[in-house]
Amino acid sequence: MKTTDGAGKMLSQIPVNLVKIGKKWADMEILRVGIIAELDAVNLYEQLAAATENEDLKKVLLEIAKEEKTHVGEFQALLLKVDKQQLEELKKGAKEVEELTGK
C-alpha cells in the first residue's frame, strides 16, 4: 500500500508495526491504512484529470477515481463492523453537521 506524505512523496511502508499491536488492532489499522491509500489515490487521479486537456484521458482518470471511492466504502464498511467506537463517532459527527447546518 502506498500513501503520500505532506510533500506528495510516496510511502510504501505501513506506519505502524502491526505485529506489536495485536490482531484486533492490526486489522483496524490495516483497514485505516487502506482507506488512507484509497483516498490518496482518489486525490491523485482527480488532480491528474484536472491537469489534462485530453478528454479521453480525463474520463478514464475520473472513472478510476470513482472506483477508488468504492474501495474506500468497502474498507469503511469492514472497519465499522470491527470498530464500534468508530461507528458511534461517525453517527455523532453526522448529527453535529446536521445541527450546525440545519440540514
Q: How far apart, in whole angstroms, are the C-alpha atoms of residue 78 and residue 82? A: 7
- Tell me the pLDDT band of 2, cut-offs 50, 70 and 90: very low
Distance of CA 76 to the CA centre of its chain: 8
Kindly indicate the confidence band of residue 26, based on its pLDDT and cuts at 50, 70 and 90. confident
pLDDT tops 50 at residue 3 = no
Q: What is the CA radius of gyration of the chain?
A: 17
In whole angstroms, give the CA distance from residue 35 to residue 90: 15
Residue 33 has pLDDT above 50, yes or no: yes
C-alpha cell at 7: 510533500
Condensed to tens digits (0 to 9), the pLDDT of residues 64-74 reads: 999 999 999 99
Q: Evaluate if residue 7 carries a pLDDT over 50.
A: no
Domain range annotation of the chain: 3-101
The share of the chain scoring above pLDDT 70, in percent, equals: 81
Within 8 A by CB and 6+ apart from 75, the residues are 31, 34, 35, 38
